[in-house]
């Protein structure tokens, strides 16, 4: 059973993926499930060839993946806001998250009728726990530029939106634990902005926390055209690279086991720092799996762990597989680390091992090779210089993240030390912007 488990996990993920692209009637799914179970019983009791049993079991698990997606998608029945599409109503709810975009702010509001996405002007800002009263027209999320916005939001159990409503803050009622985490995160962000001017602080926050902030359009366009915009997506890719950098750095003068423990502790601390949001927790889990692979060097066990992690995440929320870019980046980047990092480490013999430089480079390139097809599938502009652009720009991410993190942490203790650490990300981000602008011309 142990030998076929990876195939069963892949079959389940394949079923979820198929259903995310095509609507399949529930009756068909139930009929296929019943048929597979019936054949399974017949093959088992009548001692058919084990191959028949294996392929039938694969088919059954594949159908269960399809069924899981359908069950999750039908959660809209529990949402009451979709009954008010096209109507102007007044709602009260608590802010779950607030994300700044180029020309707007997007709030997820938890109400008695369900969750709703509020698109508003950037100011005034609201934070987690604020209780708001909003008045506006409830609308169904519409596709944007060919992207299925409705299903993208459905992964957060959001089925409605309200564009630029009237908003009034009436209370503040947060979860105390989460409120404490978000307070630390906000304080950390403010400390970083104190020592790093814009747009450098927003870019550092994008790499660290996945929050790009309000970046100038020309800079965003440069990163997009150079196919490096993905560095601003919170994923296991960014976190794993930093974790491997920390492990290599401390491994230079500490026993490997201690270096690994410090790296994992750093990832846990970072996750708490981001507010322990679902995206950060998923990214941290993938990152730790990647570090286990680097620590043990046992590919089979690492791949099995990765598949199990993906399975449980998708079982919890099947929308992640197609509609969560952070999850996709995490999955492929971690796979790249497991399969390629050690081989590239030998190929990059000309780079010094000092301070973990060679290991960080091999991890970056390995992850980049695996995420490149994903970036292409997202419709990113790809040029013949995409690979060198990523090698130049992305290879600086670990150092930027590490020193930005240290700068923010020391901002709580002694601001002058924080400012000294901030010099490194300032110079490297300045170079990244220059490089992105250069590569975007081709």
pLDDT per residue as tens digits for the range 38-51 = 877 776 666 666 67
pLDDT at 312: 85
d(CA 102, CA 220): 10
Distance CA 94, CA 107 (A): 10
Looking at the predicted structure, is the pLDDT value of residue 145 above 60?
A: no
> Shortest CA distance to 153 belongs to which of 186, 119, 130?
119
Task: Tell me the pTM.
Answer: 0.72
Range of lowest pLDDT (33-37, 103-107, 231-235): 231-235
Distance, in Å, from the CA atom of 202 to the CA atom of 208, rounded to the nearest integer, reads 10
Where residue 298 falls (left for φ over 0; alpha for ψ -120 to 50; beta otherwise) is beta
User: Is 44 or 56 the better-scoring residue by pLDDT?
Assistant: 56
Confidence (pLDDT) at 274: 63
| pLDDT band, residue 394 (cuts 50/70/90) | confident
Nearest to 403 by CA among 161, 156, 208: 208
What pLDDT, on the 0 to 100 scale, is given for residue 125? Answer: 84
The pLDDT assigned to 225 comes to: 78
pLDDT score of 360 more than 80: no
The reported pLDDT for the residue numbered 380 is: 60
pLDDT in tens, 8-38: 899 999 999 998 888 888 888 888 888 888 8
Is residue 138 left, alpha or beta, with left meaning phi > 0 and alpha meaning psi from -120 to 50? beta
Rounded distance between C-alpha atoms, residue 268 and residue 288, angstroms: 9
pLDDT (tens digit per residue) in 162-221: 999 999 998 887 777 777 777 777 788 888 888 888 888 888 887 777 665 667 778 888
Could you tell me which residues are beta bridge partners of residue 109?
A: 95, 116
What percentage of residues in the chain have a pLDDT greater than 90?
10
| Interaxial angle between packed helices 200-209 and 415-439, expressed in degrees from 0 to 180 and rounded to the nearest 10 | 90
Residue 135 clears pLDDT 90, i.e. is over it: yes
409 Cβ contact list (under 8 Å, min separation 6): 188, 418
The predicted model gives 349-376 an average pLDDT of: 70
- Given pLDDT bands bounded at 50, 70 and 90, which one contains residue 355? low
Task: Tell me the range of 117-121, 204-208, 398-402 where mean pLDDT is highest.
Answer: 117-121
| Nearest C-alpha neighbor of 144 from the set 178, 106, 98 | 106
pLDDT at 340 over 90: no
pLDDT (0 to 100) of residue 88: 92
The whole-angstrom distance between residue 420's C-alpha and the CA centroid of its chain comes to 30
344 neighbors 362 (Cβ within 8 angstroms) = yes
- Rounded to whole angstroms, how far apart are CA atoms 302 and 82? 43
Three-state secondary structure call for residue 109: strand
Instruction: Give DSSP secondary structure letters for 97-152.
Output: EEEE-SS-EEEEEEETTEEEEEEE-S-S---TTEEEEEEEEEE----BTTB-HHHH
Of 109, 115, 106, which is closest to residue 82 (Cα–Cα)? 115
Query: Token pair 């846990």 is at which residue?
Result: 268
Q: How far apart are CA 316 and CA 299, in angstroms?
A: 26
Q: What is the pLDDT of residues 265-303, one digit of tens each?
A: 878 777 776 656 666 676 677 777 767 766 666 666 778
Q: What are the tokens at 2? A: 């142990």
Q: Tokens 């210089």 belong to which residue?
A: 385
- Average pLDDT, rounded, for the chain: 79
Name the pLDDT band for 404 (thresholds 50, 70, 90): confident
Provide the terminal-to-terminal Cα distance of the chain, rounded to the nearest Å. Answer: 52
Task: Give percent of the chain with pLDDT exceeding 70.
Answer: 81
The residues, ordered by sequence, that sit 6+ positions from 176 with a Cβ below 8 Å of its Cβ are none
Q: Which residues contact 327 (CB under 8 A, 6 or more apart)?
A: 235, 279, 282, 313, 320, 321
Burial of 300 (0-12, 13-18, 19+ CB in 10 A): exposed
SS3 category, 101: coil
SS3 90: strand
How many Cβ atoms from other residues are within 10 Å of residue 385's Cβ? 16
DSSP letters, 143-180, are: -BTTB-HHHHHHTTTEEEEEES-EEEEEEE---HHHHH
pLDDT, tens only, 287-296: 777 677 666 6
């Amino acid at each position: 059973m142990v030998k076929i488990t990876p195939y069963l996990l892949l079959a389940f993920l394949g079923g979820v993926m198929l259903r995310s692209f095509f609507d399949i009637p529930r009756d068909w799914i139930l009929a296929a499930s019943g048929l597979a179970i019936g054949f399974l019983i017949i093959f088992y009791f009548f001692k058919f060839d084990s191959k028949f049993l294996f392929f039938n079991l694969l088919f059954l698990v594949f159908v269960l993946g399809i069924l899981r997606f359908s069950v999750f998608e039908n959660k809209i029945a529990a949402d009451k806001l979709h009954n008010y599409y096209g109507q102007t109503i007044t709602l009260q709810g608590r802010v779950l998250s607030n994300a700044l975009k180029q020309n707007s702010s997007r709030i997820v509001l938890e109400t008695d009728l369900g969750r709703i996405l509020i698109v508003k002007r950037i100011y005034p800002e609201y934070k987690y726990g604020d209780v708001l009263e909003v008045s506006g027209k409830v609308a169904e999320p519409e596709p944007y530029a060919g992207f299925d916005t409705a299903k993208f939001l459905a992964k957060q159990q959001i089925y409605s939106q309200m564009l630029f409503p009237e908003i009034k803050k009436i209370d503040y009622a947060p979860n105390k634990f989460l409120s404490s985490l978000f307070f630390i995160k906000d304080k950390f962000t403010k400390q970083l902005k104190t020592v790093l001017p814009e747009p450098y602080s927003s870019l550092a926050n994008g790499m660290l926390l996945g929050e790009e902030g309000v970046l100038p359009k020309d800079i965003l366009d440069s990163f997009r055209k150079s196919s490096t915009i993905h560095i601003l997506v919170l994923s296991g890719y960014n976190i794993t690279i930093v974790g491997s950098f920390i492990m290599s750095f401390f491994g230079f003068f500490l026993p490997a086991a201690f270096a690994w423990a410090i790296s994992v502790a750093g990832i846990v601390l970072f996750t708490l720092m981001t507010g322990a949001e679902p995206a950060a927790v998923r990214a941290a889990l993938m990152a730790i799996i990647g570090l286990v692979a680097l620590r043990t060097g046992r590919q089979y066990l690492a791949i099995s762990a990765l598949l199990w992690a993906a399975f449980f995440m998708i079982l919890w929320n099947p929308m992640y597989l197609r509609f969560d870019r952070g999850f996709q980046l995490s999955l492929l980047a971690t796979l790249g680390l497991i399969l390629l990092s050690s081989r590239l480490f030998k190929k990059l013999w000309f780079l010094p091992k000092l301070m973990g430089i060679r290991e960080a480079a091999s991890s970056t390139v390995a992850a980049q090779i695996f995420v490149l097809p994903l970036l292409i599938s997202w419709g990113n502009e790809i040029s013949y210089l995409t690979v060198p652009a990523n090698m130049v720009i992305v290879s600086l991410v670990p150092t930027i993240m590490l020193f930005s993190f240290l700068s923010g942490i020391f901002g709580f203790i002694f601001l002058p030390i924080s400012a000294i650490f901030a010099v490194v990300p300032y110079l490297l981000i300045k170079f990244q912007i220059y490089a992105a602008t250069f590569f975007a011309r081709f």
